[in-house]
Chains A and B, each alone.
Chain A
Amino acid sequence: MLVLTRKLGQSIRIGGSIRIQVVEVRGNQIRLGIEAPAEVRVLREELYQQVSEENERAQLGARDGLEGVAGVWTELRKKK
């Protein structure tokens, strides 16, 4: 991992279109400002991991999974 030291207000650039600036330092919390093109997904690591894990878990073992949920949901809806 590349490690750089920056002071408050200083930035780094990644490629030509991404800029990350240290906006505030308070104790062990650092606020970063990020400028990036709209198509670049910027996420907190924890959120990325959470969605990534759910995408992994959601993979169907078989077509029956889809048939099962569509069946029970449709049945319950009729009863309402």
Chain B
Amino acid sequence: MPELSIHSTRFGSLTVAEESVLEFPEGLIGLPHLRRFALFEPSVPNSPFRGMVSVDDPEIGLAIADPHMLFADYEADVSAEYPVLGIEAPEEAALYVILTVPLDNPLRTTANLLAPLLVNKRLRIGRQVVLSESRYSTRHPIIAPRQQG
């Protein structure tokens, strides 16, 4: 299986399978030049979290997560976007949200539920979708304040 090595001062050296690279043909919103990202897992096993480092600029990385694991009642109807990504069946779709992790306090991490990432798992392409008429914002705490201690 072809592999891709990424060297970054911020994220260290990563070797990922080329097939784990995700392409966002339009980039992310406001970051149109970042199109290809390599996904990697944190050291904690079986968590809903993933890292995403830019193949084009390896100093840029984001933390993402499966929103349904963090917010059981999260509702995002993105099916209108399926044709854009060539998604032919719901099973081919995956949804992630981008996290903002404060450097000094990961308990105060927020999730951008307003603009999730929709991915075609078969073709490994994705798109950031802004939900329309949504009650969600770009900053939902993933850990309730009472649990933050």
Contact = CB atoms under 8 A, between A and B. Distances in A.
Contact of A69 (B80, B106, B139): B106
Contacts of B16: none
Interface residue range, chain B = 35 or more
A67 B139 CA distance: 20
Interface stretch (A1-9, A17-25, A41-49): A41-49
Contacts, number: 119
B30 interface: yes
Most chain B CB atoms below 10 A, which of A56, A65, A68, A76: A65
Interface of A: 38-39, 41, 43, 47-48, 50-74, 76
Contacts of B114: 50-51
A48 B49 contact: no
Interface string B116-149: 0000000000001010000000110011000100
